Amino acid sequence: MAGFLKEAALPAIARKWASSPCAPYPCGEEVWAYACEVEGIAPPPLPEHRTRRAVSRLLREKGGLVAYASELMAKLGWEAVERPGRGDVGVADIPGMGLTCAICLDNGEDLPLWMAKGDHRVLTVRAPFRRAWGPSCPRR
């Protein structure tokens, strides 16, 4: 069932991302909201990260983006995966952006295809990743 929920959520999240401005660092918050939607829960609030200073402080305290994302995904019960599949999430190393939280659209032969939020647009790019997670088991 989790696969169905991931698939159903992808078009809606792409439409939302394409029609909204990019906050200073929305990638984690947007991907967190998507993962919570897949789990069928309202996204619990995240610590303040609306400014560069707040994000830098938070990531320094949490040990970096990968460590912080790992902490959040563990709270949802999502498990690390070696090769992300469609609808899984990860920290991708997107050219020109650096490490970015993103949603996997397919795992491809060489590199996964990631969907990331831009300013009033959705970016899709094949890129390496540092870590990825998927739901631990079918829900409902």
| Residue spans per domain, the chain | 2-134
Whether the predicted pLDDT of 49 surpasses 80: no
* CB of 73 closer than 8 Å to CB of 131: no
Helix (H, G, I), strand (E, B) or coil at 34: helix
Q: Look up residue 116 and give its DSSP letter.
A: E
Q: How do residues 78-102 score in pLDDT, each as one tens digit?
A: 999 999 999 999 999 998 888 999 9
pLDDT of residue 6: 67
CA dist 18 and 36 (Å) reads 20
Architecture per CATH, 2-134: Alpha-Beta Complex (3.90)
Tell which residue, 97, 101, 50, has the closest CA to residue 71. 101
Give residue for tokens 């997670």: 133
How distant, in Å, are the alpha carbons of 16, 62, 86, 132, 139 from that of 94? Answer: 20, 21, 17, 14, 31
Compute the half-sphere exposure of residue 79: CA atoms within 13 Å on the CB side of its CA: 7
Strands, sheet with 129-135, edge to edge from the N-terminal-most edge strand? 78-81, 129-135, 89-94, 98-106, 113-118, 121-126
Whether the predicted pLDDT of 139 surpasses 50: no
Whether the predicted pLDDT of 4 surpasses 90: no
| pLDDT, mean of residues 38-67 | 87
Instruction: Please give the model's pTM, rounded to 2 decimal places.
Output: 0.85
